[in-house]
Amino acid sequence: MANPVILVVDDDQGVLSAVERDLRPKFGHDYRIVKAASGAAALDLVAKLQQRNEAIALFLTDQRMPNMTGLEFLEQAIQAFPEAKRVLLTAYADTEAAIASINKLQLDYYLLKPWDPPEDHLYPVLTDLLDDWRSNVRLPFEGIRVAGTLWSPGSHDVKDFLARHQIAYQWLDVDADEKARALVETSADGSLKLPVLFFPDGSTLVAPEIHALAEKLGIQTTASMPFYDVVIIGAGPAGLSAAVYGASSGLQCLVIEKQVPGGQAGNSPRIENYLGFPTGIAGMDLTRRAVTQARRFGAEIISTQCVTGIRTQDMYRVITLDNGMEIVSKAVLLATGAAFRKLEVPGIDQFLGAGVFYGAAYTEAAYYKDEPVFVVGGANSAGQGALFLSRFASKVTMLIRREVQQSSHYLREAEAANPKIERRFNVEIVEIHGKPGRLDDIVIQDIATGEKTTLPGAAMFVFIGAIPQNDIVKELVLLDPKGFVLTGHDLMKDGKPPREWPLERDPFMLETSVPGIFAAGDVRLGTNHRVASATGEGGIAIAAIESYLKTL
């Protein structure tokens, strides 16, 4: 990070140069010596340094300057950098003003001009002050800072996006931190549009679209070519595995992801049952490695681009993006997975991303430290969520609709053994109270008896199953009654392909009712909704696609 600043302010260029000449050999290695020729110019610099989250260690300002005296400058500058040391350069006639300011401005020192020799009059004083500053100051965070409120869904989306891309950020809560609030007000023209992102280069983004944020961060969001061998839609485990196998076999592969690579697996705090990781692995870690591996083999992965349609054009498949762009390929793999099923409770919408979260335990859990929270659901993902949340929350109440849980044995045992987790069976939520960002309590009802109970809690994490993400193909390929995509063997009836199938040959494994469009993972009928199944199917799909390409 940039060295902390010593800011020297004097309207007399001769004095300014003399100060710089004396400071640089002694302090220039550890500090940046920055000069300003007036109080106003210095205040501009102060604002810029604050916005870039840099540190000012010491103000060294002349007292006698036209328009703004040194003391007037310090009075304003220390609002932004209250920990900076304050030294006034005075002539003999100003000493009384300086002494009067020692208490008012907590002036650390006043230096009488001239200060020659600096070894006697300047260096000992400044060395002492700077050592003192170093031992007491917390140096600013170097990366991106996100200023927002817990109640703003936009802030939640940005934090989630950064976390899923493993980009470190510092969270500034404008409700709890006045300095953060003032910073937001100065950078967003006085309005309080949230979140505001401050980048180390001094630039800001106010309430950005996720796509704009991705571009700012240099994340690839557009395809580099108009034509590919295979376009893979969705970068969950199925899509990423297909990208690894496809690209390593020499196919030109493009993966299009509407949010962030990782899919549902990226939401899993710890995948315990994936082969080769005896102590489990965080879903984000697993999928991040897969992204690196796929890219290493030459696959292209673009994020924050949603596929809105697929059409067939002779032997080609044309994919449309929500920005209107079209990409052509020989084959398509649909790996769009499943989306969280929504909880139906009156008034719940106002809390979405602001007290009620779908699976997003990762980014939000720490903000509910020592508070009671709820987990809705009783299956594997809910169990994992509850165990993860119990590291932070004072209590985790699992609210389960059924009388018994349908989850892995090891998870049920871990839940039962965890003193912070309570499981309530046969209940549903009927009311939610609070204000966005923080729940007060909820009312649950016993499904058998109708008895209602009010439970206090600050946040709710919902894991109640998933529905296939089939929007882009529901008019194109055959689905089962629940919306899962039919492929290969499941399309066959009495040993024959369905009426809609146009070719002599039978569909390949994982091929849908439209030749050249394949499906793998949670969107497909017959998968078992596990990371291992999705990755396995991604690999199998590529083998089937290679067979298909040979028929063209």
Ligand X SMILES: Cc1cc2nc3c(=O)[nH]c(=O)nc-3n(C[C@H](O)[C@H](O)[C@H](O)COP(=O)(O)OP(=O)(O)OC[C@H]3O[C@@H](n4cnc5c(N)ncnc54)[C@H](O)[C@@H]3O)c2cc1C
Per CB under 6 A, residues contacting ligand X are 233-239, 256-259, 263-265, 267-268, 271-273, 306-307, 335-338, 359, 380-381, 384, 463, 469, 472, 521-522, 529-532, 534
The token pair that represents 514 in the structure block? 């439209």
In whole angstroms, the minimum distance from the beta carbon of 229 to ligand X comes to: 18
User: Between 273 and 453, whose beta carbon lies closer to ligand X?
Assistant: 273
CA distance 250 to 426: 52
In whole angstroms, the minimum distance from the beta carbon of 487 to ligand X comes to: 13
User: Between 10 and 157, whose beta carbon lies closer to ligand X?
Assistant: 157
446, 392, 401: which is closest to 420 by C-alpha? 392
Return contacts of 10-15, CB within 8 angstroms, 24+ apart: 10/35, 10/37, 10/61, 10/62, 10/65, 10/89, 11/37, 11/38, 11/62, 11/65, 11/66, 12/62, 13/37, 15/62, 15/89, 15/113
User: Between 88 and 534, whose beta carbon lies closer to ligand X?
Assistant: 534
In whole angstroms, the minimum distance from the beta carbon of 414 to ligand X comes to: 12
Cis peptide before 114 (omega within 30 of 0): yes
* DSSP string for 3-45: PPEEEEE-S-HHHHHHHHHHHHHHHTTTSEEEEESSHHHHHHH
In whole angstroms, the minimum distance from the beta carbon of 379 to ligand X comes to: 9
Q: Residues 202, 52: contact at Cβ < 8 Å?
A: yes
528, 505, 524, 523: which is closest to 515 by C-alpha? 505
CA distance 517 to 533: 19
In whole angstroms, the minimum distance from the beta carbon of 522 to ligand X comes to: 4
User: Between 272 and 506, whose beta carbon lies closer to ligand X?
Assistant: 272
User: Between 35 and 156, whose beta carbon lies closer to ligand X?
Assistant: 156
User: Between 444 and 466, whose beta carbon lies closer to ligand X?
Assistant: 466
In whole angstroms, the minimum distance from the beta carbon of 289 to ligand X comes to: 15
Strand partners, 446: 427
Q: Residues 297, 312: contact at Cβ < 8 Å?
A: no
User: Between 52 and 211, whose beta carbon lies closer to ligand X?
Assistant: 211
Strand partners, 375: 398, 461
CA distance 526 to 512: 13
In whole angstroms, the minimum distance from the beta carbon of 313 to ligand X comes to: 19
CA distance 272 to 278: 7
User: Between 295 and 529, whose beta carbon lies closer to ligand X?
Assistant: 529
In whole angstroms, the minimum distance from the beta carbon of 466 to ligand X comes to: 7
